[in-house]
Amino acid sequence: MSTTPAVPGSTALDPAVAARLKRTADGLLPAIAQQYDTGEVLMLGWMDDEALHRTLTTGRCTYWSRSRSEYWVKGDTSGHVQRVVAVALDCDGDTLLVKVDQTGAACHTGDRTCFDADVLPVAR
């Protein structure tokens, strides 16, 4: 696997799409995974051009792991697959919304979402 994210424009990602992306200094975009039919927010991952290209062309979510410095396809080791239903770029071009059909847990802890375990109190 690669040890650094792909350089913008160095993948087969459609150049018209790549030109619209506003990446972080390390070439990444946040990608929010959302259950397509319920609207449930499942997780946040990171994609570079290559991960986005793989996601769009395979129908499976591919992310860049910042902790492992490699690409990973959600579900390849856990079986908790994210089948891609739709991908949208936000109005600023700096965040992706990936609507998925999630099988099993989305969070590496085994929770359905990464946002189940630590709900913070809000003053009313």
The C-alpha torsion from 71 through 18 and 41 to 120, rounded to 10°, is 90
Q: Tell me the pLDDT tens digit for each residue of 83-114.
A: 999 999 999 999 999 999 999 999 988 999 99
Predicted model pTM: 0.89
Place of tokens 């995974």: 33
- DSSP, residue by residue, 94-105: S-EEEEEEE-S-
DSSP bridge partners of 87: 98
What's the mean pLDDT in 11-26? 94
- pLDDT of 119 reads 86
Place of tokens 């690409």: 71
- pLDDT of 115 reads 92
Do residues 33 and 45 touch, judged by C-beta distance below 8 A?
Answer: yes
Place of tokens 């997780």: 43
- pLDDT of 30 reads 98
